[in-house]
Amino acid sequence: MTTKIIKELQDIKRKAAIINQKIGSAKLSYPQVCQCGEELDLVYDEIFSFESALLKNDPFVEIGRYGQESAYIFKTLRTSHSPLPKKFIVSELKKFEIHPRRIEYCMELLRKTGEIYEPKKGFVQRI
């Protein structure tokens, strides 16, 4: 799936270069320039919607929504000896009335961003 998306992006890039060459060498009238500008705006809108969809998959962007949970996880990891069992972290963060699934998801995002890692299955440690 990823390679297919990358190939499509490369095709779009190639087509954009060809269009750029054609526009640069063509003698366009003012209405044609306006029409090309409108079409270009539509292309920009499509690209920005693609970029926003791409950012939804970025763990660095996603972790920004879990600032409080991340802070509590790091506080727990700092005050206790590492590596800690995930169950211990979940039980510690329940004191702050944070749902266990939210804690697990936040730890998964922190693992994807490289802030923490799992030396053994079920344990986490700060890097």
| Torsion 79-84-88-89 (CA) sign | positive
Between residues 44 and 86, which one has the greater pLDDT?
86
Closest by Cα among 20, 22, 26 to 43: 20
Residue indicated by tokens 């292309």: 43
Tens-digit pLDDT profile for residues 81-118: 778 888 988 898 888 888 889 988 988 888 888 888 88
Q: Which residues pair with 126 in a beta bridge?
A: 116
Calculate helix-pair angle for 67-79, 100-113, nearest 10 degrees. Answer: 80
Q: Is 70 exceeded by the pLDDT of residue 1?
A: no
